[in-house]
Amino acid sequence: MSAVLHTAAKPTRDARIWLLLIALLVIVLDRATKLLVAKKVAMGSAVTVIPHVFRITHVLNTGAAFSMFAESASPLAVRIGLVTFSLIATAAVLTLLWRYGRTWSLASIGFALVLGGAVGNLYDRVVLHYVIDFLEVTIVHYHWPDFNVADSAISIGAVLLLAEMIWPRSAVSEAASESETREVRRA
């Protein structure tokens, strides 16, 4: 019995290296899919995957998310602004990931996904001067603007961050502890 009472809790491993690997995986998947689309799908054309719902396209986006600012009178100013914003956002997310990524949480995974997506699109903006978008979704009569793996990772990461804010891990842990305590009392 005393061995059980004096057993120290297992130290948790630092999750930051794994979270950075998740970000790297997003970057690699983003680059690989964009290169594949650029090689296999002609510019401006599409390959239907699910009729009236999902197509693989090949479009170039010189603007921001969902092609905002793409038709700007000053494309160079838009590009410089987007690159600057992306660099600042990437630095901020990397800092947050390093600071709060010691343990696994919805927020730490969200930061990793946002970081990978931001770097993926930043690469395109710096090297190519545009972002390759290729996923086209239509739901009933609504046509979603074309997007890519990096955009998907950023969106999923943002949802995870929002979920962590709405349902903080401490509240979830407390609820689980209360449930476990009730079960022990019943036994």
The closest of 52, 10, 30, 53 to 125, measured between CA atoms, is 30
Residue in 30, 124, 146, 151 annotated catalytic: 151
| Cα gap 142→137, rounded to integer Å | 8
Domain ranges of the chain: 13-186
The closest of 125, 117, 127, 124 to 94, measured between CA atoms, is 117
The per-residue pLDDT for 98 is 95
The per-residue pLDDT for 6 is 39
The per-residue pLDDT for 5 is 39
**Three-state DSSP string of the chain:** CHHHHCCCCCCCCCCHHHHHHHHHHHHHHHHHHHHHHHHHCCCCCEEEEECCCEEEEEEEECCCHHHCCCCCCCHHHHHHHHHHHHHHHHHHHHHHHHHHCCCCCHHHHHHHHHHHHHHHHHHHHHHHCCEEEEEEEEECCEEEEEECHHHHHHHHHHHHHHHHHHCCHHHHHHHHHHHHHHHHHHC
* Percent of the chain whose pLDDT exceeds 70: 78
Is the distance from CB of 106 to CB of 169 less than 8 angstroms? yes
pLDDT in tens, 119-128: 999 999 999 9
Q: Taking 70 as the threshold, does the pLDDT of residue 182 lie above it?
A: no
Give the relative orientation of helices 75-100 and 16-40 as an angle to the nearest 10 degrees.
150
Strand order in the sheet with 142-147: 46-50, 54-61, 131-139, 142-147
Is the distance from CB of 56 to CB of 134 less than 8 angstroms? yes
The per-residue pLDDT for 85 is 92
Q: Is 151 noted as a catalytic residue in this protein?
A: yes
Is the distance from CB of 116 to CB of 148 less than 8 angstroms? no
Residues 6+ apart with CB under 8 A from 151: 65, 117, 121, 133
Q: Is 146 noted as a catalytic residue in this protein?
A: no
Residue in 30, 124, 133, 146 annotated catalytic: 133
pLDDT in tens, 25-84: 999 999 999 999 999 999 999 999 999 999 999 999 887 665 566 566 677 888 888 899
